[in-house]
Amino acid sequence: MAKTPQGGDGKDTAAGTTEPPATPSEAAPAAAPPQVPHPPQLQVDDSKASAAYANFFRVTGTPEETIIDFGLTDQLFAPATKPVQITQRIVTNYYTAKRLLQVLHLTIQRHEAAFGVIETDVAKRARPGLAARPQSPAG
């Protein structure tokens, strides 16, 4: 057999002979699992977003939507003497509400892994006698 130049149909070997072209199964590497297409990255413009602090929330809904109200109250520990002022309302469908729930859950898990368990029961967090101490004047 004649030796073919590099780049021809055959492969040059050390002995100077030419091998036949590789079959498609030999030429292609092992079949990789099909790649799942990634959704396109969304661009977010938060220039018109407003930020508000809330220490109160209420969740209600309809068969089609979840309604989350946020507000601020200074009556967390005393009996309520005035209504809580709702300052923000988010209305979303249940699909978005479930995705929000999942992301919030993961966020809290990461925070607790780094900083410890968040105790939501105020009675368990409160230190006895701390509120009864007189505050010293600054100066």
pLDDT in tens, 100-134: 999 999 999 999 999 999 999 888 887 777 655 55
Residue 34 pLDDT grade (very low, low, confident, very high; cuts 50, 70, 90): confident
Can you give the pLDDT at residue 36? 78
Closest listed residue to residue 8, CA positions, set 51, 18, 127: 18
Q: Please name which of 14, 11, 4, 12 lies closest in space to residue 26, comparing C-alpha atoms.
A: 11
Instruction: Determine contact, residues 87/60, Cβ cutoff 8 Å.
Output: no
Q: Which of 35, 31, 33, 11 is nearest to 21 (CA)?
A: 11
Whole-angstrom Cα distance, residue 12 to residue 9? 10
**Residue-level pLDDT at 11:** 47
Which pTM was predicted? 0.58
- Start-to-end CA span in the chain (Å): 102
